[in-house]
Structure 1
Amino acid sequence: MKLVSFSRPGGPIAAGVLDGESVAGLTEVGLAESVIEVIREGQPALERIRAGLAHAPRHALANVRLEVPLRPGKVLCSGINYRGHARENPNAKMPDEPFFFAKLPSSVVGPDVPVAKPARTEQVDYEVEFAVVIGAPLHRATEAAVMPAIFGYTLLNDISARDVQFKDSQITIGKNFAGFAPIGPCVLTADAMPRPDRVALRTRLNGRTLQDGNTSDWLFSLPRLISFLSEHVPLEPGDIVTTGTPAGVGVFRDPQVFMWPGDVVEIEAEGIGILRTPISET
């Protein structure tokens, strides 16, 4: 099931289920007020939605706006977690344990929201990231406890200002300009993706494919990654944890490729869909 947040012209943001070229409205028939409500309630909410979905009104996808699926409490991103990305980075070494940094809630935007190139940077880069939506509290969790606690999956574009990020190791500043965390287009429930470790990922910039990877290239599995993180940071329903990016980022290409006003970047994961972001003037 693909859960979305959507709006119609002049209307409020509502919860829905994306089905091909239509969206079934959940809020209109009292099935769910929001996606975060469904995540927090978990399986009973999903069962209620499945039982009542046939009675939900349908809206053509072309007539609605997909919003950011949820506003996460925390977004924690894995750094080097693909073998290919580690190999393309001349300064990286294969890590002994997972590495994480934060994306701040103020950087989160939804599908098709223009992201302005900050005046501070001339190196705006893309990163397709397969992201986990936490569905149950995890703190000092064993690896065996991780998969049952995952509600679903989404996409995050870890937009990065490389000249800021790499100057004095300013990773938090370089990755948290306004709009630098597009999320969407949906949250795919975990039951619909039995093998998250076998998912094809792509990035296209103005139609040109620049990243073409697969989660099978992970250095650390989901149980290892999230168990390690939960040893240090308590995770809560609605938090998002990303799993790194595959090879092909702009800063390590020859010649380098960065994003400029007028560009459109699309990241894609099979089963989840396409998250599109236009780059605009400052």
Structure 2
Amino acid sequence: MRLLTFRTEGGTRAGRLDGTQVTPLDAPDVGALLATGLDWRARAAATGPLVPFDELDLAPLVTRPSKIICVGLNYKRHIAETGLDTPEHPTLFAKFANSLIGARDPIVLPAASGAMDWEAELAIVIGRSVAHADHAEARAAIAGYTVANDVSARDFQRRTTQWLQGKTFDATTPLGPTLVTADELHDVADLVVSCKLRGEQMQGGWTGDMLFPPDEIVSYISGIMTLEPGDVILTGTPAGIGDSRTPPIRLEPGDVLETEIEGLGVLRNECTLSPRPTRGT
């Protein structure tokens, strides 16, 4: 099953994608659909009038998740390119919903940063409440997977030892285009993760290079906090970020960033520059 969230004149609405057609569902977004309970699959199987997928204005897959948890330094080749030590435990930081955009929305580059970078990522969406889960319980709590790009302001990220301020600028994190349920994937540990900038491939990784796989990540995080339906977890990025190149490559206004994960879909986002805030506002 493939689920998505799209914009309407009255707000947002969840839908089910079948081929090139979408069936609108009785929920404002995929997160709300998942929160209806363990029968969300039956609700998602509803029938009704069809809408062409290409005509939809895609919103972030989950519009207001209660939590967005991110894992840093989780691909072995990426750890090597940064020159940092291999972590013994998942490196966690957070984002907030203000950072989320849809699969075709513009990425708004903050005028305050001169070091915007890309990070193609597999994202997990939680389908049921889970706490203190073992790996089997963690796998059962995953509704499915989607595509994200953890666009990062490297200069702000490095201002302190805490990364959050470089990771959650408004309108910088595309999430979508669809939630693909786990039963549709042949093997989540065998997916190609890629990112193109200006038509040139920058990242070409493989989920099998993860240090901590999805079930281990969910199990670990659920030992710290209860995960709820619609919560989103970004699982880290493969090698090929702009910051590790010589000289570094930065995102610029007018750039088009294409993020793709095998079997999950493509994000295509043009970069625009935010207006510099007026003093005193």
Same fold, TM exceeding 0.5? yes
Map residues 200-219 of structure 1 onto 2, 5 A cutoff: 200-219=192-211
Contact 1:79 1:99 in 2 (8 A): yes
TM-aligned CA distance change 1:49 to 1:104, over 3 Å: closer
> Can you list the C-alpha shifts for 1:80-137, whole angstroms capped at 9, x where unaligned?
11001011112x1111111110011221121222222212211100001101101111
Contact 2:109 2:172 in 1 (8 A): no
**CA-based RMSD:** 1.7
CA distance in 1 between partners of 2:29 and 2:175 (Å): 16
Contact 1:103 1:181 in 2 (8 A): no
Greater helix fraction, Structure 1 or Structure 2: 1
Contact 2:11 2:28 in 1 (8 A): no
User: Which TM-score applies when normalising by structure 2?
Assistant: 0.91
Map residues 13-92 of structure 1 onto 2, 5 A cutoff: 13-27=12-26, 32-50=27-45, 52-53=46-47, 56-71=48-63, 72-90=65-83, 92=84
Q: Name the SS of the counterpart of 2:41 in structure 1.
A: helix
> Can you list the C-alpha shifts for 1:39-90, whole angstroms capped at 9, x where unaligned?
123552313433x43xx22212232211112121110000011001011112
CA distance in 2 between partners of 1:45 and 1:140 (Å): 23
Contact 2:121 2:147 in 1 (8 A): yes
TM-aligned CA distance change 1:33 to 1:180, over 3 Å: closer
Contact 1:164 1:170 in 2 (8 A): no
Q: Name the SS of the counterpart of 1:197 in structure 2.
A: coil
* Residue 6 of structure 2: aligned partner: 6
Q: Name the SS of the counterpart of 2:58 in structure 1.
A: strand
The runs of 5 or more residues in structure 2 that have no matched partner are 275-281
Contact 1:156 1:242 in 2 (8 A): yes
Contact 2:7 2:57 in 1 (8 A): yes
Matched, 1:119 2:98: no
CA distance in 1 between partners of 2:90 and 2:162 (Å): 19
TM-aligned CA distance change 1:49 to 1:137, over 3 Å: closer
Identity across the alignment (%): 37
Contact 1:40 1:135 in 2 (8 A): yes
Contact 1:134 1:238 in 2 (8 A): yes
User: Which TM-score applies when normalising by structure 1?
Assistant: 0.91
Map residues 1-282 of structure 1 onto 2, 5 A cutoff: 1-8=1-8, 10-27=9-26, 32-50=27-45, 52-53=46-47, 56-71=48-63, 72-90=65-83, 92-282=84-274
Contact 1:185 1:273 in 2 (8 A): yes
Contact 2:74 2:236 in 1 (8 A): yes
Counterpart AA for 1:80? L
User: Deviation of residue 235 (structure 1)?
Assistant: 1.1
User: Deviation of residue 140 (structure 1)?
Assistant: 1.7
Runs of 4+ that moved beyond 4 A: none
Q: Name the SS of the counterpart of 1:251 in structure 2.
A: helix
> Can you list the C-alpha shifts for 1:118-170, whole angstroms capped at 9, x where unaligned?
12211100001101101111222222211011111111110101111112234
